[in-house]
A and B are shown apart, each in its own frame.
Chain A
């Protein structure tokens, strides 16, 4: 009854407003939120377009495939990951494991797996060197013409590798394929359920849409495949966080085509507590900031030589629909509440309810596109998703951008060793 009352009062207010005033009140929603749902609508269209794009049986003439597993203190997950790989419908590959300075039993497990013949090679590094350097070493040791990079805590649908390889094998122009990542531990808490919805919307649906418009700019380090010649041409991964995003940008700038394989599904665990989630996203957002606005800020310049329109769209899309709304949002919130007082809260609630309808539509599309009916069970958590994204995650993002912009806080990120971070460009 309260919700209906809120909508009724807010509706009366909105009807009473002249058009320009409506825009003045909801300018942030119109600028930042609605495009997001437009994306969703377009993704729906993409899903319809992709309706006939079903898995098409075994691959023919697959070159040698190397799977690269780099882990640091992964004793709990590495064995199940390797065994999951051997349960694949396509398993004619070698597995190269690099233990990146673990202090637990990771390497002992790798040795045992090698003796059992489940992995081809195991290399132990005494000093932790960061994930990019570990992957570079694994790629150096690999013999395959296609390199598949996988996180140790992932598990897979039986045909995941086959579907991941399909675009590379069947389309010579494709240099990299991004897999579809879903949340495995979505039942553990409300936080994991909300992340599961987010993954569905942003990866399963968002990347499917991006694939249609040739805007796949990030092959996740958790699950992606690369053609070796392309890998070697751009000399592997670079130092710093967000190495997967950085690597994909370099691939695309070198002219390679990158696609998304929505039928290639891998599952990963996500943080189970709000604190862990905020820490993880802090790191991700700082890395994003660093890669986009420090390392590749030149891509924002529409007048530069060798202009890439797709890169330009990528950067300005981020700037206009992500960065600016994030930065402006806290000020908008303060403005709305100071100007309208208590009624501002009612307005926000009304907007949230309206956005819920859009969320519902996008969620339905996402589950249909993903083809995993089990995720319908996330529907009860959907009302929380919009407010969580708008108020919690967006404020967290604001904090990340602010600290990165002002204090370059990623410089103190312990995800990569200090010696490596000292060499990164901080401008």
Chain B
């Protein structure tokens, strides 16, 4: 094999091969072909022509209903055509090889579904590619048919990640407002939202990738960040050295001393000739040429490249970017034929149901303490996110460590539930003022919080389907 190049903006790997295999390696090629013992099926897209040469042990499929082991792209930017030949779930799961030799001309987002790129199209290169993809091919073949043909995008996404044996990695793409794309979204539309739902279900887990600074007006991450004047936000700053005349203790920016090429003390009118004898330069200051403000601590400001909004960095929002990793539960869910939970909130409701049934079986008093946060008007998003996070931590601390806590988002509002075993509703209701004080006294932003306590009867009614997705909570 030649050498590998990792693309920073794509999950695909590019492999460079010599345009034709050297003669001395022909025996080696034959040996390598023998490793492709299985009958591997290839689908060429566009399906106009086949690759020039096909490795031993491989064949082309043409029938629309047949599932290939590998999709081979023979023309540049033809990823969009895969959907014409394959069912969406199959297109997303089956590995894709680009043999057009013109890969990389698309953005990370449009090129994300390609798993391998070949710089040369010949039997030798394709054989090497298929050998690399062999583990993926085997994993696709091991999937239940119901998964391969699934119409559930969440399950398809899980299968795609399981087949490739990798995380759902974000990639930087300055052509989009968020500056981050998920290449897997090319194969599975809306992959990020689906991944978030899968996280709630415990089938994927988040891994920190980056935190982006975003525009408070339009949420774009395409910001031009630079030093600016703390007083007027002008970027017309100039750095001036500070001069200290040792003899008379006059200390001021250099322009106060500068007379042509000479330095003359503005106080005692003496020439400053010798550095470190007559004068020192103990530091420098940033002088704003617009308003005259002087400081050594300029502010950092931004301009949004999308909406042209300007401001200081303290006004910006933040957005955390995650990579998503398949959990053991997620992998098991792909391998078995079990159905997926229908909605995100089902996970929270599942836990709630488990709690209720367990406590009812134990015939103990129990209740659920719920608090729902509403964003006050005039509070920016970043501060609100911080407040919600702090509230969540405080919520954990208010109750005993063994108390089960559920945090969920119902509608657009965060809801925190404390599942209180062995506490009856009346007792908890009496404690609401104390709990409220503990939860809210540390918050600089006072959110509007609705507190409620649900006893066994109400919980049974809610879980019995009389309320939609726990919206009562």
Q: Which residues of A come within 8 Å of B, CB atoms?
A: 101, 110-111, 114-115, 121-130, 132-134, 136-137, 140-141, 235-239, 243, 419-420, 422-423
Contacts and interface: CB of A to CB of B under 8 A. Distances in A.
Interface in B229-277: 230, 242, 244, 246-253, 256, 267-268, 276-277
Contacts of B282: 101, 125-129
B283 interface: yes
Interface in B270-294: 276-277, 280, 282-283, 285, 293-294
A235 B250 contact: yes
A111 B295 CA distance: 10
A211 B283 CA distance: 40
B297 A140 contact: no
A231 to B, nearest CB: 12
B280 A114 contact: no
Given A236-B267, A420-B249, 5 more contacts: A114-B297, A121-B297, A235-B248, A235-B267, A239-B246
A419 B295 contact: no
A55 to B, nearest CB: 33
20 contacts: A110-B297, A114-B230, A121-B297, A125-B242, A129-B251, A129-B282, A130-B249, A132-B249, A137-B251, A137-B252, A140-B251, A140-B253, A141-B285, A141-B294, A235-B248, A235-B268, A236-B267, A238-B248, A420-B249, A423-B247
Given A121-B295, A123-B285, A419 B280 contact: yes
Contact of B246 (A125, A134, A423): A423
Contacts of B276: 419
Contacts of B297: 110-111, 114, 121-124
Nearest to A422: B246
Which of A122, A137, A238, A239 has the most chain B CB atoms inside 10 A of its CB? A137
B283 A133 contact: no
A133 B283 CA distance: 13
Interface residues of B, number: 26
A361 to B, nearest CB: 43
Nearest to B279: A419
B249 to A, nearest CB: 4
B249 A122 contact: no
A420 B278 CA distance: 9
A137 B253 CA distance: 8
Interface string B58-95: 00000000000000000000000000000000000000
Contacts of B253: 140
B271 to A, nearest CB: 14
Which of B252, B253, B295 has the most chain A CB atoms inside 10 A of its CB? B295
B251 A134 contact: yes
B293 A121 contact: yes
B306 interface: no
Nearest to A123: B296
Contacts of B252: 136-137, 140
Interface of B: 230, 242, 244, 246-253, 256, 267-268, 276-277, 280, 282-283, 285, 293-297, 314
A71 to B, nearest CB: 14
A420 B277 CA distance: 9
A123 B246 contact: no
Contacts of A129: 244, 249, 251, 280, 282
Which 7 residue pairs spanning A and B have beta carbons closest together?
A127-B282, A137-B251, A125-B282, A125-B283, A133-B251, A133-B249, A235-B267
Contacts of B244: 127, 129, 133
A237 B249 contact: yes
Contacts of B247: 239, 423
Contacts of A420: 246, 249
B416 to A, nearest CB: 30
Contact of A123 (B250, B256, B277, B283): B283
A13 to B, nearest CB: 56
A141 B256 CA distance: 12
B277 to A, nearest CB: 8
A413 B291 CA distance: 41
Contacts of B277: 419
A56 B280 CA distance: 47
A127 B294 contact: no
Contacts of A235: 248, 250, 267-268
Nearest to A115: B314
B243 to A, nearest CB: 10
Contacts of B230: 114, 121
A73 to B, nearest CB: 15
Contacts of A133: 244, 249-251
A330 B282 CA distance: 45
A115 B301 CA distance: 12
Contacts of A122: 295-297
Contacts of A422: 246
Nearest to A111: B297
A419 B249 CA distance: 11
A137 B280 CA distance: 13
Nearest to A98: B251
B428 to A, nearest CB: 39
Contacts of A236: 249-250, 267
A237 B250 CA distance: 8
A235 B267 CA distance: 6
A123 B256 CA distance: 17
Contacts of A101: 282
B256 to A, nearest CB: 7
B294 A239 contact: no
Nearest to B292: A143
A422 B249 CA distance: 12
A111 B246 CA distance: 27
